[in-house]
């Protein structure tokens, strides 16, 4: 893990830097070689010191900020906070992977009937209608004037076909399809 040091109104000693490298280096077991850490040491007022520790890896961000009267104590306070964040995230990720594995097991189980009955998948109605360029506010008015759950319109602002619908919270949602 690459570690970058910054100081604001504070001078980082060689001893402090080596201790931080050693302790932050222990978090390497959670990350690939692409991870980077940024340590900002600063003096706040006369007797307080702040240490900010930020670790980035593949779009993930773990951060801790502590203030005390001793910079060495700040290291011991900041590292457990960041480690708890990392462990919490990895636990959530593992749980999600387990849930997906169970879902895949259910879906791809040999006992599962993959046959689709064409009678159950029949399109019963096709409706054609003209769409006109409307602003979002005009589309909301059209939706309110109809007794439908949604309204399809041509968005005058972006020229794309959008769907506006009323959400259960009482506000509106817009489906704006994109091609990826």
pLDDT over 90 (residue 67) = yes
pLDDT, residue 116, reads: 60
Q: Is residue 145 assigned to a domain?
A: yes
Tokens of 63: 């951060």
Looking at the structure, do residues 17 and 79 belong to the same domain, yes or no?
A: yes
**Which of these three, 29, 62, 88, is where a domain ends?**
88
Q: Is 1 helix (H, G, I), strand (E, B) or coil?
A: coil
Confidence of residue 118 (pLDDT cuts 50, 70, 90): low
Looking at the structure, do residues 8 and 79 belong to the same domain, yes or no?
A: yes
Q: Is residue 19 assigned to a domain?
A: yes
**Over the range 149-159, which residues count as b (16 or more CB within 10 Å of their CB) and which as e?**
eebbbebeeee
For the chain, the average pLDDT equals: 85
pLDDT, residue 79, reads: 93
Q: Is residue 160 assigned to a domain?
A: yes
**Residue reference for tokens 């690939």:** 32
**Which of these three, 88, 120, 154, is where a domain ends?**
88
Q: Is residue 122 assigned to a domain?
A: no
Its domain, for residue 38, covers: 2-88
pLDDT, residue 119, reads: 67
Q: Is residue 22 assigned to a domain?
A: yes
The CATH number of whichever domain residue 150 belongs to comes to: 3.30.505.50
Confidence of residue 61 (pLDDT cuts 50, 70, 90): confident
Instruction: Please compute the mean of the pLDDT values over residues 97-120 and round it to a whole number.
Output: 63
Q: Is residue 111 assigned to a domain?
A: no
Higher pLDDT, 111 or 73: 73
Higher pLDDT, 105 or 126: 126
Looking at the structure, do residues 80 and 12 belong to the same domain, yes or no?
A: yes
pLDDT, residue 164, reads: 93
Looking at the structure, do residues 83 and 138 belong to the same domain, yes or no?
A: no
The CATH number of whichever domain residue 65 belongs to comes to: 3.30.160.100
The predicted-structure confidence for 129-172, as pLDDT tens digits, reads as follows 888 899 999 999 888 888 788 889 999 998 899 999 988 888 99
Looking at the structure, do residues 6 and 69 belong to the same domain, yes or no?
A: yes
Question: CA–CA separation, 52 vs 69, rounded Å?
Answer: 14
Looking at the structure, do residues 23 and 78 belong to the same domain, yes or no?
A: yes
**Which of these three, 32, 55, 88, is where a domain ends?**
88
What do you get for the CA distance between the two ends of the chain, in Å? 34
Residue 52: beta bridge partners?
40, 65
Looking at the structure, do residues 84 and 6 belong to the same domain, yes or no?
A: yes
Q: What is the DSSP string of 40-106?
A: EEEEETTTEEEEEEEEEETTEEEEEEEEES-HHHHHHHHHHHHHHHHHHHHHHHHHHHHHHHHHHHH
Instruction: Please compute the mean of the pLDDT values over residues 102-118 and round it to a whole number.
Output: 59
Query: How many distinct structural domains can be found in the chain?
Result: 2
Q: Is residue 98 assigned to a domain?
A: no
Q: Is residue 126 assigned to a domain?
A: no
| Angle between the N-to-C axes of helices 71-107 and 14-25, in degrees from 0 to 180, rounded to the nearest 10 | 20
The predicted-structure confidence for 74-86, as pLDDT tens digits, reads as follows 999 999 999 998 8
């Amino acid at each position: 893990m690459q570690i970058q040091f910054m100081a604001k109104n504070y001078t980082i000693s060689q001893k402090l830097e080596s201790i931080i490298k050693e302790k932050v280096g222990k978090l390497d077991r959670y990350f690939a070689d692409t991870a980077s850490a940024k340590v900002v040491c600063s003096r706040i007022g006369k007797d307080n010191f702040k240490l900010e520790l930020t670790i980035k890896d593949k779009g993930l961000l773990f951060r801790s900020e502590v203030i005390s009267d001793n910079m060495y104590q700040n290291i011991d306070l900041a590292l457990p906070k960041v480690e708890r964040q990392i462990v919490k995230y990895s636990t959530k990720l593992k749980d999600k992977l387990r849930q997906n594995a169970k879902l895949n097991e259910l879906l791809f189980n040999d006992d599962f009937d993959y046959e689709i009955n064409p009678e159950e998948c029949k399109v019963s109605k096709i409706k054609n209608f003209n769409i006109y360029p409307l602003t979002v506010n005009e589309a909301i008015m059209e939706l309110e004037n109809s007794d439908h759950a949604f309204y399809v319109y041509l968005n005058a602002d972006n020229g794309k076909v959008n769907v506006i619908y009323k959400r259960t919270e009482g506000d509106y949602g817009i489906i704006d399809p994109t091609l990826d």
